[in-house]
Amino acid sequence: MQNQNDQSRMDRIVSLAKRRGFIFQSSEIYGGLNGFWDYGPLGVALKRNLKDAWWHDMVAGHDELATLAGAPSPYEMTGLDCTIIMHPQVWKCSGHFDLFHDWMIDCRESKRRYRYDHLHGRWAAHRGKKVFVTTDASGDEAAPETVARAQKFFGLRAKQVDEIEWGGGLESLQQAIAAGSATLADTLGPDATAPGSLTEPREFNLMFETRIGALAGDDEDRAFLRPETAQGIFVNFKNVLDTSRVRVPFGIAQVGKSFRNEITPRNFTFRSREFEQMEIEFFCKPADSAAWYRYWRDRRWKWYLDLGLTAGRLQLREHAADELSHYSVGTADIEYAFPFLAAGEFGELEGIAHRGDFDLRSHMEGKLVRQDGGLVVETGPDGKPRHKGSGKDLSYFDDITRERFVPHVIEPSAGADRATLAFLCDAYHEDEVPDEDGKPRSRTVLKLHPRLAPVKAAILPLVKKDGMPEVAIDLYRALKPHMACQYDEKGSVGRRYARQDEAGTPWCLTVDGQSLADRTVTLRDRDSLVQQRVAIDEVVDLLRDKLS
Ligand code: ATP
């Protein structure tokens, strides 16, 4: 069961995110659009800092001459920025056109649609009448929701709830039907008043469709918004090889929007319909691929820890053999214990997959399927490839060893929005600090890593007179070219500290009477609350050092 405190903590995080301008619902003035989110002034800075940290640590700041800890050898990194709409054949060969779907189920009575694997239920009986009561609620809301639904279904008063006999705990509807312990005819849908209103589950492709050009109409114009950024990298593999001097092993990175028409977007930005991914396709020799897979899994895990995610809320989960995609030799997920999940549950932040040569071969030969332990081109009834590949040679020739091979791929695929949400949740703290008179005051503080914090420093004149604003403005102008900082003279200094704590600003610089006499300011640390006096002329170097 989910911890009550965790759910209310999540509610407070969502409310802070809105109140302080981190995240808004898209098109809110028109009632919002389910599964779409906008980033406000603080949120855009937080998410940009996260993407910049990723790009810097993985690509721009990468030292290709060194052998990094755990890496089998030195390697190169480069980048790409591909279009969101690509040739429709890309998605046919990648497998998304045929296979990228979820199972959905409709309710004929309420006209609502659910993801089959999100429905849970349990048997309830009262005076000889039995029904399998379901809910689409998650976490700690699910069990009480089934009680309320059963009470209503049997027409009971609150004090009669104990008369309901329960046949076990909550289980997945999908599994109960597969095991034969429930049928759709016995099932009371999450918003239905009578059992038997749920339809048989159906496949639903998650790709958003669009049409290209003014003569939109026939099937030739049909196109898709990319559901992942990865395919743009595979189809440009040869372009990158031919135009840059990269040699295997090397990685190509891309950050950009992806779109998935999720059946039930939920849990704030965790499952959105439009989101950003940060993906690397790393190309290596087949014989070295298992070692590179382990390197990337461990490297990506460490990245989240280095940026401050609490180790106890993070989990690295290797997929079991039966969970692996048909092309994968190994996959690990980096998962975070988001507060909206039940205790002991984790949500995926990033997947690191060993994809073998599946992707490059698919774009050469056509859509592949697994057969007798290998990959073969899938054929249609006419014996021809079901989805024809490009026919281009995407193999690699190593001019030192004189070998030609199709590189294997390791793919660390992260979500920028999920990571932003994880860092926001992890940073959220409530504690007590002394106010100006030394009395305890409760505060909300975002203990974000300084690299991620939207504002690095706030410059505050103690009072709006006696020459203090002038000194503070000079300091603000000296610091601004080096880092995001804010000047704030409005309200008591305590209120200004509180505002900055809620925004996650790691340092506050206060100009007071002494500053005018000796050109020093107080530097307040957000987390330790320690205040030290530093020379104004040393502030820029000091904070730059702390940031790096
Ligand atoms: P899930 O099982 O949670 O739907 P997935 O396994 O389909 O995720 P991938 O296809 O591996 O996800 O995508 C890589 C990353 O992209 C995920 O780890 C996640 O961070 C992000 N991502 C995927 N789908 C969404 C979404 N609907 N909203 C926000 N981020 C997403």
DSSP helix/strand/coil, 156: coil
pLDDT at 245 over 90: no
Nearest residue by C-alpha to atom 8 in ligand 1: 348
Pocket flag, ligand 1, residue 413 (CB < 6 Å): yes
Nearest residue by C-alpha to atom 13 in ligand 1: 413
User: How far, in Å, CA of 500 to CA of 455, rounded?
Assistant: 8
User: How far, in Å, CA of 54 to CA of 405, rounded?
Assistant: 30
Nearest residue by C-alpha to atom 30 in ligand 1: 415
Mean pLDDT calculated for residue range 240-268: 95
Which pLDDT value is given to residue 333?
97
User: How far, in Å, CA of 418 to CA of 307, rounded?
Assistant: 15
Residue 514: pLDDT band with limits 50, 70, 90: very high
Atom of ligand 1 at shortest range from CA of 272: 28
Which pLDDT value is given to residue 418?
98
Q: What are 155-167's pLDDT values in tens digits?
A: 999 999 999 999 9
Pocket flag, ligand 1, residue 51 (CB < 6 Å): no
CA-closest candidate to residue 358, choices 299, 406, 318: 406
Pocket flag, ligand 1, residue 502 (CB < 6 Å): no
Atom of ligand 1 at shortest range from CA of 262: 27
pLDDT at 178 over 50: yes
Contacts of 521 (CB under 8 A, 6+ apart): 475, 509, 510, 511, 512, 515, 533, 534, 536, 539
Pocket flag, ligand 1, residue 281 (CB < 6 Å): no
Mean pLDDT calculated for residue range 498-504: 97
Mean pLDDT calculated for residue range 46-74: 98
Pocket flag, ligand 1, residue 227 (CB < 6 Å): no
DSSP β-ladder status, 129-135 and 165-172: unpaired
Percent of the chain whose predicted confidence (pLDDT) is above 90: 86
Pocket flag, ligand 1, residue 275 (CB < 6 Å): yes
Distance from the first to the final alpha carbon of the chain: 41
Which pLDDT value is given to residue 213?
85
Report CA(172)–ligand 1 centroid distance (Å): 21
Which pLDDT value is given to residue 7?
74
Mean pLDDT calculated for residue range 363-379: 91
Pocket flag, ligand 1, residue 348 (CB < 6 Å): yes
User: How far, in Å, CA of 202 to CA of 183, rounded?
Assistant: 16
pLDDT at 51 over 60: yes
Q: Are 163 and 128 in contact (CB under 8 A)?
A: no
Report CA(314)–ligand 1 centroid distance (Å): 16
Pocket flag, ligand 1, residue 223 (CB < 6 Å): no
User: How far, in Å, CA of 207 to CA of 225, rounded?
Assistant: 7
Which pLDDT value is given to residue 262?
93
Report CA(415)–ligand 1 centroid distance (Å): 6
Pocket flag, ligand 1, residue 300 (CB < 6 Å): no
Q: What are 392-422's pLDDT values in tens digits?
A: 999 999 999 999 999 999 999 999 999 999 9
Residue 214: pLDDT band with limits 50, 70, 90: confident
Residue 255: pLDDT band with limits 50, 70, 90: very high
Atom of ligand 1 at shortest range from CA of 260: 27
pLDDT at 4 over 60: no
Which pLDDT value is given to residue 1?
45
Report CA(258)–ligand 1 centroid distance (Å): 10
Pocket flag, ligand 1, residue 122 (CB < 6 Å): no
Ligand 1 test: best mutation among 277, 300, 315, 316, most atoms within 8 Å of CB?
277
Considering only CA atoms, give the Rg of the chain. Answer: 28
Residue 142: pLDDT band with limits 50, 70, 90: confident
Residue 323: pLDDT band with limits 50, 70, 90: confident
Which token pair is 113? 């649609």
Q: What are 270-282's pLDDT values in tens digits?
A: 999 999 999 999 9
Ligand 1 test: best mutation among 91, 325, 418, most atoms within 8 Å of CB?
418
Cis peptide before 249 (omega within 30 of 0): yes
Which pLDDT value is given to residue 3?
55
User: How far, in Å, CA of 15 to CA of 23, rounded?
Assistant: 9
